[in-house]
Amino acid sequence: MDHEAIVTDGLKKRYGSVTAVENLNLTVRYGEVFGFLGPNGAGKTTTIKILTGLLRPTAGTAIVAGHDVSKDTLALKKSIGYLAENPFLYNQLTGREFLRFCGGLYGLDDAETTRRSETLLEMLDLTARGNDLIESYSHGMRQKIALVITLLHEPVVLLLDEPIIGLDPRSARRVKDLLRDRAAGGVVVFISTHILEVAERICDRLGVIHQGRLIAVGTLNEIREQSRCKGSTLEDVFLALTREAESDHISSLLEGGAQ
């Protein structure tokens, strides 16, 4: 297996005159927890949807788990696990019924689906509620059952949009430990989050996107150097980077208007 799990080259996405992602060049390796950070509207979710094959890029390429996201969509979906920020669930099914349904979609037999489901339900403290209708689940429980579904077919690439949102501290810790365990087994975990403390604790490397452009990438110490915020928390580094990028953007607009 190639060490590079995600490779983007000149990736762009435009909606009419609006640019959501601009010239994104990024490489993420297997076994890595990569945090993808940015303000609201920076292009994080758009990028993830391109990497899952749900959106076609306007220009550039993206290779995920060895598959071109614009061409090999079926093979791609077998290799990745995608957790949306607001995942869709079938409310009139129980947790276990939904897992059996999803296992069938991935071509797993009933015995294997049950084995994997029970292991994951136990990990996320859902065993006792597995036979309850999903409509009765709290927000945190819905988030956890969605994560179980994401992991069920044992994908080699995990693309997670805000996986910790809505979880109580105990559940958040279990999810963080689970993700680190998957990375230790060679899976790449690509996680978008606004919870900077989570990113600081579990991510091996970080990328900061602002107005569709990647403005910093590296370990926390490396992006501290890029932001000239040595010894600072990730929150301080993030604010410094985005503030500088915003200032540069405004300056370029003013210069363009003066011409």
pLDDT exceeds 60 at position 258: no
**Does domain 4-258 fall into CATH 3.40.50.300?**
yes
Write the CA distances from 20 to 59, 214, 245, integer angstroms: 12, 12, 16
Name which of 54-58, 218-222, 246-250 the model is least confident about.
246-250
* pLDDT the model gives residue 225: 87
Q: For 15, what's the count of Cα atoms within 13 Å in the CB-facing half-sphere?
A: 7
pLDDT at 229: 77
Model confidence, pTM: 0.91
Query: Can you tell me the distance from the alpha carbon of 24 to that of 217, in angstroms, rounded to the nearest whole number?
Result: 11
Give domain limits for the chain.
4-258
pLDDT of 254 above 90:
no
